[in-house]
Chains A and B, each alone.
Chain A
Amino acid sequence: MNSIAKQSDKTIDIIIYILLGIVVLSVAYPLYFIVIASFSDPTLVNSGKVILLPKKISFEGYTLLINHKDLWTGYRNTIFYTITGTSIGVIMTMMIGYALSIKKFMGGKFLMMFLLITLYFHGGLIPTYLLVQKLGLYNTPTIMILFGSVSVFNIILARTFIRSTLSQELYEAAVIDGCTHIQYFIRVVLPLSKAIIAVLSLYYGVSYWNEYFKGLIYLTDKELYPLQLFLRSILIENAIDTELLDVEEALHQQRLVEIIKYGLIIVSSIPVLVIYPFLQKYFVKGVMIGSVKG
C-alpha cells in the first residue's frame, strides 16, 4: 500500500471515530440525564442547574412513587399480561414454526401465504374493535393476553431457526423409528431450540411490557390497566392525582410534578434495563436469524 492511501486511511479513521463519538454521546446523554435528574433536587433540575452531575441528591420523587397505588396496580397487571401472553405466544409460535419448517408438509406454502397476507391487508381498527366487542372480550384481561400474542415475523424466525439447526435427516431417521411429529417436537425440537426460545421470549416479553395501545382501546376498568397506560396519564397528560402528592402547598406539588416523571421513567423501565445487558446477544441473534432469507 502506498503512503498516500495510508495517509487518507488515517484521516477517514479519525473522522469515523469522531462521528461515532458524537453518536454515542447523543444517544447516551438523554438516558444519563434521566437518571441524574431522577434523584436530584427538583428545583435545581427544573431551573437547569443539573446538567452533568446530580445535585443535592434527594429521593423525593421515588418516595412519592412508592406510595402511588396506580403504579403498583399497573405493575402487577403488566407482569401478569407479560408472563401469560409471552408463554402462550412462544408455545404457539414454536408449534407452527416447527410445522412450517418441514419441507414435505403439504399445505405449508399455503399456510405461509395465509399468514403473510395479514401483514399488508387487515380489517382495520373499527372492524377489529367491533369484533372484540362481539366476542365479549371487551374490557377483559383475555384481550390483553391473547391479542398480539403471535407475530408473523416471529413465526418466520422460529421456522428459519429450526430449519437451519435441525437437519431433515435427523427428523426422517426419527420418523422411520416410529416417532410422531408431536413426540419429535417435544423431545428433540424443543430441547435443541433453547436459543430461539430465548429470543422469542424476549421479543414477546418486551412488546407486552411496552404495550399501551390495546389497553387504551379495549379497557375501561382502571383495575385492569397496564403500567404503560398509567405512565401515559402522568407523563403525557400531566394527570397526577392529588392522592399521590400528600404535600400541602400547591407550589411544592408543582415542583414535584416534573421530578416524579424522571423517577417514573426509571421505575417503569427497570425490568428491561436490568435484563438488557445480559440478553443483548440474544436480541442480536434474533435479528440475525431474521435477516436470513428463507
Chain B
Amino acid sequence: MEAYAALNQKKPRLKRKKIIRQLKKDYQLWLLALPVIIYFIVFHYLPMYGIQIAFKDFIAMKGITGSPWVGFQHFERFITSYQFKRLILNTLGISFYQLAVGFPAPIILALMLNQTKNLKFKKFVQTVTYAPHFISVVVMAGMIILFLSPTSGVINHLIGGLGFDKVNFMANPGYFKTIYVFSGIWQNAGWGAIIYLAALSAISPSLYEAARIDGANKWHLIRYIDIPSIMPTAVILLIMNVGRIMNVGFQKTFLLQNDLNLASSEIISTYIYKVGLLDAQYSYSAAIGLFNTIINILLLVSVNRISKKVTETSLW
C-alpha cells in the first residue's frame, strides 16, 4: 500500500519536473537570443516611438513627449511644397529605371554562364564579375567621378579619341539616372547572378536530355527550361525590390550629386538628410520619412498580393 501511494505521489512531481526542465531549456534559448533582442529593441523599436514627432512640433528642450501636437501639418506642407513632385519623380524614376534595366542583368548573366561548358572560363568570368561587389560605395562614387571627368577622365579621353566632343557627365542632370543605374549593374550584376546560378544548377539533367531528344536547340533549352525554373526566385526578388522602391540608395546618390545635377539627383532620402540633419527641421523631415515608409509598405503588400494571385509565389 505504502509503495503504491509513493508511486502515485511521484507521478505529478515528475510531470512538474518535466515542465520546469522544459522551461529551463527554453530559458537558455531566450538567454542566447537576448543580446540581439536588446539590440533590436534599442536600435529599431525605440526609434519607432520617436515617429510621433512627425505629428508634433519638436522642441529639443521639451523632448519628444513634451512637444505640442500639430496633426498632419508637416505632411500637408510636404505634399504641397514645390519640391514634392520633383522628389517623387526622381525617386520613382531611378527606381523603375533600375528595375527595368538592372533587375534582368544578373538573370541574363546567369543564363549565359550556365550555358558555358568551359569551366575554367566560367570561373574566370565569375571571379571578375564578383569583384566590384566588394568595393565601397565611396570608392565606387570616386571612380565614377574620376572616370567621367571632362578634363582628365579616361572615358572622355576615349570619346575624344573617337573624334567626338567631350561630355561633362556629372554636371548634366540628363545623365544622372543612367550613371546611377549602369554603375549599379557594373557593381552588382555578377554578385546577383549567384542566386540564379544556384537555381539553375538544381535543374535535373534528364530534363535537358528529354528536350534534346525532341530536337530542342540551346535556345529552346534556355527559353523553355532555364527561364521557367528560375522564375520563382526572380519573382521573390522582384517583390522584395518593389518593397524597397522608395528607398533608392541614399549613399551612392548622395555621393554622386552636386549642385549641377540636383534637378534629377535629389531624391526623398537625400532630401530627408538635408532638411533633417543639416537644417535641423526634425519634425518636417521625420514626416517625410514616415510618408516614404508607408508608401513602401503599401507597395510591398499590394505587389505581394498580386503575385500571389498571378504566380502563386509570395513572401508570406
Nearest CB in chain A: distance from B228 CB, A: 18
Q: Of all chain B residues, which has the CB nearest A255? A: B152
DSSP class of B's interface residues: helix, strand, loop or mixed? Answer: helix
Chain A 104-124 against B: per-residue CB contact (8 Å), 1 yes, 0 no? 011100010011001011111
B233 on interface, CB distance cutoff 8 Å: yes
Chain B 226-248 against A: per-residue CB contact (8 Å), 1 yes, 0 no? 00000001000000000100000
B39 CB contacts on chain A under 8 angstroms = 92, 146, 149-150
Partner of A175, one of B25, B116, B212: B25
Q: Of all chain A residues, which has the CB nearest B151? A: A46
Nearest CB in chain A: distance from B9 CB, A: 24
Q: Are B272 and A126 in contact (CB under 8 A)?
A: yes
Chain B 189-213 against A: per-residue CB contact (8 Å), 1 yes, 0 no? 0110011001100000000000010
Q: Are A51 and B157 in contact (CB under 8 A)?
A: yes
Q: Of all chain B residues, which has the CB nearest A98? A: B32
Q: Are A121 and B32 in contact (CB under 8 A)?
A: no
Partner of B31, one of A4, A149, A182: A182
Nearest CB in chain B: distance from A283 CB, A: 7
B92 on interface, CB distance cutoff 8 Å: no
Partner of B147, one of A30, A51, A126, A135: A30
Q: Are A283 and B33 in contact (CB under 8 A)?
A: no
Kindly specify which of B80-88, B96-104, B127-135, B172-180 makes contact with the partner chain. B127-135
A272 on interface, CB distance cutoff 8 Å: yes
Task: Tell which of B33, B116, B121, B158 has the most Cβ of chain A within 10 Å.
Answer: B33
Q: Are B29 and A105 in contact (CB under 8 A)?
A: yes
Q: Are B142 and A96 in contact (CB under 8 A)?
A: no
A73 CB contacts on chain B under 8 angstroms = none
B255 on interface, CB distance cutoff 8 Å: yes
Chain A 252-294 against B: per-residue CB contact (8 Å), 1 yes, 0 no? 0000001001100100110011001100100110011011000
A241 CB contacts on chain B under 8 angstroms = none
Q: Which of B8-32 contact A (CB under 8 A)?
A: 24-26, 28-32
Cα–Cα distance between A19 and B115 once the two chains are bound (Å): 12
Partner of B296, one of A28, A120, A126, A181: A120
Q: Are A124 and B143 in contact (CB under 8 A)?
A: no
Cα–Cα distance between A102 and B31 once the two chains are bound (Å): 14
Cα–Cα distance between A2 and B214 once the two chains are bound (Å): 10
Cα–Cα distance between A129 and B160 once the two chains are bound (Å): 47
Q: Are A150 and B36 in contact (CB under 8 A)?
A: yes
B94 on interface, CB distance cutoff 8 Å: no
Q: Of all chain B residues, which has the CB nearest A149? A: B39
Given contacts A150-B36, A269-B135, contact A1 B215 (CB under 8 A): yes
Task: Tell which of B43, B151, B300 has the most Cβ of chain A within 10 Å.
Answer: B43
Cα–Cα distance between A127 and B137 once the two chains are bound (Å): 25
Cα–Cα distance between A180 and B276 once the two chains are bound (Å): 49
A111 CB contacts on chain B under 8 angstroms = 33, 37
Q: Are B272 and A5 in contact (CB under 8 A)?
A: no
Cα–Cα distance between A175 and B162 once the two chains are bound (Å): 73
Given contacts A9-B218, A16-B115, contact A268 B139 (CB under 8 A): yes
Task: Tell which of B32, B272, B296 has the most Cβ of chain A within 10 Å.
Answer: B32
Cα–Cα distance between A254 and B64 once the two chains are bound (Å): 49
Q: Are B44 and A228 in contact (CB under 8 A)?
A: no
Nearest CB in chain A: distance from B149 CB, A: 8
Chain A 157-198 against B: per-residue CB contact (8 Å), 1 yes, 0 no? 000000000000000000100001110010000000000000
Given contacts A9-B218, A99-B29, A235-B141, contact A123 B112 (CB under 8 A): no
Cα–Cα distance between A291 and B50 once the two chains are bound (Å): 34
Cα–Cα distance between A154 and B109 once the two chains are bound (Å): 26
Task: Tell which of A107, A127, A206 has the most Cβ of chain B within 10 Å.
Answer: A127
Given contacts A96-B33, A100-B33, A182-B28, contact A126 B115 (CB under 8 A): no
A8 on interface, CB distance cutoff 8 Å: yes
B251 CB contacts on chain A under 8 angstroms = 212-213
Q: Are B143 and A129 in contact (CB under 8 A)?
A: no
A20 CB contacts on chain B under 8 angstroms = 112-113, 116, 121, 125
Nearest CB in chain A: distance from B52 CB, A: 9
Known: A120-B243, A122-B47, A235-B145. 5 other contacts (CB 8 A): A105-B29, A206-B134, A258-B152, A261-B146, A265-B143
9 tightest Cβ-Cβ pairs between the two chains A and B: A123-B47, A127-B50, A48-B157, A235-B142, A124-B289, A210-B136, A181-B28, A46-B152, A127-B47
Listed A/B pairs (25) with beta-carbon separation below 8 Å: A17-B121, A23-B109, A24-B129, A27-B132, A28-B128, A31-B131, A111-B33, A111-B37, A118-B44, A118-B45, A120-B300, A122-B48, A122-B293, A129-B277, A131-B47, A146-B39, A181-B32, A212-B138, A228-B136, A235-B145, A235-B146, A258-B152, A287-B194, A288-B195, A291-B195
